[in-house]
């Protein structure tokens, strides 16, 4: 991909076999490149030795599709990729954090990953809601996890449900005699009636947040400011905000504190200076302090700056 002639050749094939047949959006997926074992020094690229240049691969992979789609007349380009490199954002790269296991540990890590990506200059980021591997839709563990992850997903640049769920015994074999490892149901009504009601409300909330999100993604495009941002991004004079890894700002007006521990229904949240409205109780709370917040499974913890218009959507 680092060779311009290679990119031209690949795009010609993609255009003929996909774009010209009506497929104008692409999930590029694996873009690292994935190498097993990871001995990049054994690879040779047009740009140089693999140990020195391999991480440029996702940059040029996105560049290939961006330039091809723009040349074909597409105005707005976005490509879903599993990897990126500084500068990939200008090619419409929407990055997610890979095929991770369906665990609360990975949910916690995803919060940090999203904030790290934002501070790396890449505002388009998301994760597989519920994780990717080994999600058992019948287990209480996963059913709790999927709700907490969906709550987190509402306050990510992109909200996307995806994953290789375990097939249930009731599912018929599409290919008799061949045991499929995945293919379990993965719609919001696939995790129990109670969860369906919760997840449906989260999807509706996300839709109501659309104007707010679009405004901040436009700011990200023009000014480089990410919508999902660490607390210190806006409150750089507050030393406490430099220590916070599990709560963040979603734009300038929303503070979100995800629940990332199994069985947890409360947690401490730090409110920086100003006055904040609890989206659940609607109470106004003075900033500059730690507070304890309750969050049963059908609730999430978020605060809106007092007087902000976005409070109306909650």
Residues known to be catalytic: 29, 32, 99
What is residue 41's DSSP assignment? Answer: G
For the four alpha carbons of 297, 311, 207 and 214, in that order, the dihedral sign comes to negative
**DSSP secondary structure code for residue 301 in this structure:** E
E-only strand ranges, the chain: 26-29, 44-45, 48-49, 79-81, 93-96, 125-126, 228-230, 248-250, 254-257, 266-271, 275-278, 284-286, 289-294, 301-305
Question: How far is residue 71's CA from residue 69's CA, in Å, rounded to a whole number?
Answer: 5
Is residue 264 within 8 A of residue 292, CB to CB? The reply is no
Contact 246, 257 (CB under 8 A): yes
Give the burial string for 118-146 (b: 16+ CB within 10 Å, else e). Answer: bebebbbbbbbbbbbbebebeeeebbbbb
- CB atoms under 10 Å from CB of 238, counted, come to 17
Classified as helix, coil or strand, 45 is strand
């Amino acid at each position: 991909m680092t060779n311009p002639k290679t990119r031209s050749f690949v795009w010609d094939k993609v255009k003929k076999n996909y774009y010209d047949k009506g497929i104008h959006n692409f999930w590029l997926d694996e873009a690292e490149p994935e190498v097993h074992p990871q001995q990049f020094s054994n690879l040779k690229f047009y740009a140089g030795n693999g140990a020195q240049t391999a991480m440029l691969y996702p940059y040029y992979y996105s560049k290939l599709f961006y330039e091809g789609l723009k040349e074909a007349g597409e105005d707005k380009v976005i490509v879903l990729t599993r990897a990126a490199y500084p500068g990939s954002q200008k090619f419409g790269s929407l990055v997610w954090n890979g095929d991770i296991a369906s665990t609360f540990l990975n949910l916690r890590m995803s919060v940090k990953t999203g904030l790290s990506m934002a501070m790396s200059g890449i505002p388009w980021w998301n994760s597989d809601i519920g994780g990717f591997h080994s999600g058992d839709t019948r287990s209480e563990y996963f059913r709790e996890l999927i709700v907490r992850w969906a709550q987190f997903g509402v306050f990510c640049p992109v909200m996307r449900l995806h994953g290789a769920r375990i097939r249930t015994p009731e599912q018929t074999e599409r290919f008799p005699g061949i045991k499929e490892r995945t293919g379990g149901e993965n719609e919001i009504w696939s995790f129990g009636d109670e969860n369906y009601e919760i997840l449906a409300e989260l999807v509706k909330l996300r839709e109501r947040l659309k104007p707010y999100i679009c405004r901040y993604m436009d700011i990200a495009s023009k000014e480089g400011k990410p919508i999902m941002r660490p607390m210190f991004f806006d409150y750089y004079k507050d030393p406490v905000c430099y220590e916070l890894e599990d709560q963040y700002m979603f734009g300038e007006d929303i503070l979100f504190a995800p629940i990332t521990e199994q069985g947890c229904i409360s947690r401490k949240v730090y409110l920086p200076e100003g006055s904040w409205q609890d989206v659940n109780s609607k109470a106004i709370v003075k900033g500059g302090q730690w507070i304890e917040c309750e969050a049963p499974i059908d609730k999430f913890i978020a605060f809106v700056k007092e007087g902000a218009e976005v409070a109306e959507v909650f």
